[in-house]
Amino acid sequence: MMKTSALAISLILILVPLAGCLGNDDSRIGCPDNPPEGTTCVPNRTVFATGNDALDLVYAKEVNLSGFDLRDADFSGAILSYADLSGADLSGADLSGSIIRGTKFINATITGTNFEGAIYDEHTFWYSGWNDKDGDGILDEGRVPDHIKEKMIYFGPESNLDGINLDGRHEMSFWPARTIDGIVFPGSIPANLSHSSLRETSMSGVELGLILTNFSNADLTDADFSKSALILTDFSNADLTGVNFSEAELRYADLSDVDLSSGELYDISALALLGCPSNLPEGWLCIADPLMDSCPVSEEGGDREEYVQLMGDLLDSLDLSYCPYYILGPTSSLTIWIENVDLTGLDLSVRPPEAIRAANLTGCPSSLFEGYICTGGAILGPNVRLADTDLSGVDLTGVDLSGSMVVEVNLSDADLTGAILDDIFWKNTICPDGTNSDDNGDTCANNL
């Protein structure tokens, strides 16, 4: 059975106001002594922290800044989703690279405002009355001011985002609502980029900014997702020709019917997938864990609590009943438990499969790195992990297990002549002579 540790997801938002509100500096956001009733004044800058990274940017999500004098204000890179800027004077303000999904700009003054690279969606309102004629809360076609439309990035179905650089951006898609020390931090709805063109678009180093993004049927030819976390992302039926997933982490993602045969998959970690690609590069496999009867985020799953914190009630609306698939290949991450599967056709000859735990296999990899062997249904070599494995009577002559973990393994009557057994962590293992490693000074090296 494949066992995965819970994905380390830091969701703590630390908002630390910088000293004072700089109301006398016209290039900054100032706080009046008596803001209008029902409005909120935010400090000029905050520190927004996620994981080990910290960014200096404005976090004003769902904040009411309607009617404020924000001339020449610096909102570059700001998170302004669902904020109300109706009637505000944004003349000369810098909103470049900001997130303005669902933001209201009704009757706002935007003369000379810089919207370069700002991300908006169908819920961003620019005019009153006539930009939502059917009252469905969705922007009517063609209602974005013409003089800024080409400078911004539209996040919605059938978008054209070819060649756009979105590296390291935050909160482009779903974000959980959080309450910390009594302060409510609003959430965001998932982004829908289905049927969009994102050829050569770069989304590298996006930690948590693409959660639940819908890329189904999108053209992602030569798109770059390297070093990004792709959680609950839908790639089904997308064109992933030449896509770069190197060092990316995919969890609960749907890769159904996609061709990854030309993709860059170096150090990819793709676990608990909802669907397998139709094609992979030679030597790669997408495997269904035969022992996984439900997702780790299901009602009884081990990751349930963590993902409830991440997703809230939205988790129950998703079909996460079955996600048994994972991807293995010559350069994929191998720090997982692999059991009861057939690895025929898998190429593990490119680099040492250190930290791998592969036992009770029904078929061995087609090739292994020098110094590693597959026998008795297990992959053996330096720095591997062996647990709950029966290798009794197996010929292990000359095997190199240096630096490995050997826990609850049955080695009775196994032939370890000439084996290298240095620096092994032994635990409750039956030695070749039938004794227990726990009774032999936590080793079997002298009981062969």
pLDDT, tens digit (0-9, with 9 covering 90-100), for 332-359:
988 778 999 999 999 999 999 999 999 9
Give the span between the Cα atoms of 3 and 193, in whole angstroms: 32
| Cβ(447)–Cβ(428) below 8 Å | no
Burial label, 208 (beta-carbon count in 10 A; 0-12, 13-18, 19+): buried
What pLDDT shows up at residue 21?
Answer: 28
Q: CB-based contacts of 417: which residues, under 8 Å, 6+ apart? A: 397, 398, 448
Q: What's CA 359's distance to the chain center, in Å?
A: 28
Structure tokens at 97: 């690279």
pTM attached to this predicted model:
0.81
Pairing of strands 337-339, 357-359: parallel
Sign of the Cα torsion 358, 389, 367, 417 reads positive
Q: How distant, in Å, are the alpha carbons of 5, 357, 379, 383 from that of 335?
A: 10, 7, 13, 11
What pLDDT shows up at residue 207?
Answer: 87
Give the span between the Cα atoms of 165 and 146, in whole angstroms: 22
Q: What letter represents residue 361's amino acid?
A: L
What pLDDT shows up at residue 1?
Answer: 40
Residuewise pLDDT in 10s, the chain (448 residues): 443 323 222 222 222 222 222 223 333 344 555 555 554 555 444 433 333 344 455 778 888 889 988 999 889 999 999 999 999 999 999 999 999 999 999 999 999 999 999 999 988 988 765 555 566 655 555 468 888 989 999 999 999 999 999 999 989 998 877 776 776 778 888 999 999 999 999 999 998 889 999 999 999 999 999 999 999 999 999 999 999 999 999 999 999 999 999 999 999 999 999 999 999 999 999 999 887 766 765 555 555 566 566 555 666 666 777 889 999 999 998 877 899 999 999 999 999 999 999 999 999 999 999 999 999 999 999 999 999 999 999 999 999 999 999 999 999 999 999 999 999 999 999 999 999 999 999 999 999 9
Per the DSSP assignment, residues forming a β-bridge with 244 are 224, 264
Give the span between the Cα atoms of 341 and 125, in whole angstroms: 52
Per the DSSP assignment, residues forming a β-bridge with 56 are 47
Give the span between the Cα atoms of 20 and 352, in whole angstroms: 54
Give the span between the Cα atoms of 34 and 331, in whole angstroms: 60
What pLDDT shows up at residue 289?
Answer: 86
- Give the chain as a 3 state SS string: CCCCCCCCCCCCCCCEECCCCCCCCCCCCCCCCCCCCCCCCCCCCEEEEECCEEEEECECCCCECCCCECCCCECCCCECCCCECCCCECCCCECCCCECCCCECCCCECCCCECCCCEECCCCECCCCCCCCCCCCCCCCCCCCHHHHCCCEECCCCCECCCCECCCCCCCCCECCEEECCEEECCECCCECCCCECCCCECCCCCCCCCCCECCCCECCCCECCCCEEECCECCCCECCCCECCCCEEECCECCCCECCCCECCCCEEECECECCCECCCCCEEEECCCCCCCCCCCCCCCHHHHHHHHHHHHHHCCCCCCCEEEECCCCCCCCEEECCECCCCEECCCCCCCCEEECCCECCCEECCCCEEECCEEECCCCEEEEEECCCCECCCCECCCCEEEEEECCCCECCCCECCCCEEECCECCCCCEHHHCCCCCCCCC
Closest listed residue to residue 61, CA positions, set 78, 44, 48: 78
Q: What's CA 41's distance to the chain center, in Å?
A: 33
